[in-house]
Amino acid sequence: MSVKSKSVLVTGGAGFIGSHLVDRLIMDDPAKIVVVDNFFLGHMDNLDSARAARPDLEIIRLDASDLAAMQDVVTSNGIDTVFDLAVVPLPTSLDYPDWTIKTNVGIVTTFCEISRRGLVERFIHISSSEAYGSARYVPMDEGHPHDAITPYAASKSAGDHIISSYVQTFGIDATVVRPFNNFGPRQNPGSYAGIIPIVVQKVLAGDPIEIHGDGEQTRDFVFVRDTSDFIAEIYATPACRGEVLNLATGKETSINELVTRLLAALGVPDHPVIHGPERPGDVRRHAADVTKLTSLLGRQAGALADNALAETADWYRSVLTK
């Protein structure tokens, strides 16, 4: 059961993961596909391929936390399913914690309410492994305690709890997907950039790479097209309904290893690397237990691959030298 013949809404669809998900969903030929994004970090360019494939793609510039506006979007477009990826990101939460929390919680609550009112059939919410905080045990399964460190993480954790309350109290049909660290083309290279675009920027500028702390902190890096494939498959798999699911490779990579492999992909293996102070709120280890997703879908996302890193590095090189 794919989204074929369904009408779907993707919030945050002009963003990094959201735009790849829009590309992926279009492959299944939905009857209608609508993007809601307020373009806080999203870019119209991210939807170029989607607009070429589906000239009827509707892109609406709105705040996804606005219940009345979202109710109108859902009813006027006959939306069956919401894929919810709109988010104010982690670095913003360090400068504007109150606004980040209110917005992120507001977005989730909006779609819980729309589901409770019976206006959509299914709600697929994209949460984050950040909700777990630093690992108390490894690998981290879906039952790992929530030890949110940053206000962003707390807002993601709160969203998951709100969804769980609506599932248990009102019986809404919601699935929570918790991706670990994503990488790939279209990840914002601007002021709130992640480690990969920062490395490419430093290489292009001839500056040393600064790693926060000793670099032995680990993450589970998953390629964004794998993430969007898995989200589409989670939608299509009835056994995933109502579940909370980690989405990751199940393999830990240290920041030191990531930087070394990325510099090799960029053809500058000897580029200077220095170590600076630890970043406040940085979690030490993130390693996913993907047993649940693997058993439900019968497959696992591939480990960090050099060709995916090279494709990502090429994309950044092209946008940063434009």
Ligand X SMILES: NC(=O)c1ccc[n+]([C@@H]2O[C@H](COP(=O)([O-])OP(=O)(O)OC[C@H]3O[C@@H](n4cnc5c(N)ncnc54)[C@H](O)[C@@H]3O)[C@@H](O)[C@H]2O)c1
Active site residues: 152
Stretch that binds ligand X, among 38-46, 69-77, 142-150, 288-296 (CB under 6 A): 38-46
Nearest residue to the partner ligand X, using Cβ: 15
DSSP 70-83: HHHHHHHTT--EEE
Alpha-carbon distance 282 to 19, whole Å? 27
Residue 39 is a binding residue for ligand X (CB under 6 A)? yes
Residue in the block written with tokens 């434009």 = 322
| x/- map, 113-152, ligand X, by CB under 6 A | -------------x-xx-----------------------
Stretch that binds ligand X, among 86-94, 134-142, 275-283, 290-298 (CB under 6 A): 86-94
Cβ atoms 41, 71 nearer than 8 A: no
Residue 12 is a binding residue for ligand X (CB under 6 A)? yes
Contacts with ligand X: how many residues (CB under 6 A)? 32
Q: Which of residues 162-201 bind ligand X (CB under 6 A)?
A: 179, 181-182, 188
- DSSP state letter for 304: P
Alpha-carbon distance 259 to 261, whole Å? 6
Residue 263 is a binding residue for ligand X (CB under 6 A)? no
Question: Which residues neighbour 41 within 8 Å (Cβ) at sequence distance 6 or greater?
Answer: 15, 89, 188, 190, 192
Q: Pick from 3, 33, 35, 41 the residue near ligand X by CB under 6 A.
A: 41
Question: Which residues neighbour 191 within 8 Å (Cβ) at sequence distance 6 or greater?
Answer: 91
Residue in the block written with tokens 């920062």 = 198
Q: Point out which residues bind ligand X (CB under 6 A).
A: 11-12, 14-18, 36-42, 63-65, 85-89, 103, 107, 126, 128-129, 156, 179, 181-182, 188
